[in-house]
Amino acid sequence: MGQKGLHVALYGERGVGKTSLANVLSEIFHNQNLPEYRAVMINCNTEDVFDSIWRNVFRELHLALEDDASPEDVRYHLSRLDPPAIIVIDELDRVEDDDSLSLLSDTVKSLSDRAVPSTLVLVGVAGSVDELIGEHRSVERALVQVEMPRMSLSELREVLERGFGEIGLTARPTALNKITALSEGLPHFTHLLGGFASERVVADDRNEVVLADVDAAIDRAVTTHTMRSAYQTATRSTRADNLYPDVLLACALAAKDALGFFSAGAVRDPLEIVAKRRLQIPAFARHLKQFLQPERGSVLYRTGEPRRYFYRFANPLLQPYVILNGLAENRITDEEVAELQGIDFTSESPLEQRRLF
């Protein structure tokens, strides 16, 4: 952060904690012991363009723009800031205007070329910097690229233990194991389930989180989560015996590669457990294809070629949600999830790290 001319691109999947980290950065540089920096943070939305982004930034810096912002205007004003600023631009992936992303890239290059002391931190959901700000090769040398991976089981366990400890609670190892395993490396679900479980404990005037509290938290999470609408869109049918819920649950439980992709063949074993019968690929291939379509929310993404297609969840948050919903609806048991994922919720010892997905 202290090296002039270098800026930061922080990217990763939805739910891995990018905004939380960005908030921490902002708080750190607001600290009274760091008077040489000021810090501001703004969030982008789908209506934002280059000018509105920088008007929001300058408003936080108590500066005013008289005309529409340009990259040179931004460089001019930031070069005169004393002290310099850490400027966090969050949810950049929501900006839909390509010209604005090009102008933002030009701004990064201009700030870098002129060694302006202020630092930009660009944050958003993406699989690469190219996805975040577009394919603007000229700015790569000016950006420190930071990909946020999913968290390990031990890291998620630490999040829970610290959170419970701050409010005077402890947790049974089995409760910690179940929450961390079902979070699939996404702290979003760790916080959600941990929060709901702790509320139940406090309401009962107890001080220890147990498995029953986690189960109640799961039931509450699936009925209140924003993914509920996406799940219902994907699985809705007028036929009571339709396979959409079972196939989507099997997709969530299917063995995946390091990037989260799974084949149709990998769906067969979990689908046999969920549907209670062995189904071959032709019996559910139509369902996989339908999950790609807008009318079912395009919940899956497909790559490859015929007979060698690979699928992954378009929104990473939906995969753990589908498993939680399957547990809540008794479509699958803890033991069956544990067997498919190679874990043991009932163990009193911390879970060993496994490959995510």
- DSSP code string of 147-197: EEPPPPHHHHHHHHHHHHHHTT-EE-HHHHHHHHHHTTT-HHHHHHHHHHH
For 173-222, the pLDDT digits (tens) are 999 999 999 999 999 999 999 999 999 999 999 999 999 999 999 999 99
Residue 271's alpha-carbon distances to 153, 265, 330, 340, 344, in angstroms, are: 26, 10, 14, 11, 20
What kind and span of H or E run contains 301? Answer: strand 300-305
Question: What CATH number should be reported for the domain whose range is 7-148?
Answer: 3.40.50.300
What are the residue ranges spanned by the domains of the chain?
A: 7-148, 153-224, 227-335
For 46-64, the pLDDT digits (tens) are 999 999 999 999 999 998 8
With 80 as the cut, is the pLDDT of residue 33 above it?
Answer: no
Closest CA to 87 of 109, 55, 119: 119
Question: What CATH number should be reported for the domain whose range is 153-224?
Answer: 1.10.8.60
Query: pTM for the full model?
Result: 0.78
CATH class of 227-335: mainly alpha
Place of tokens 């063995």: 255
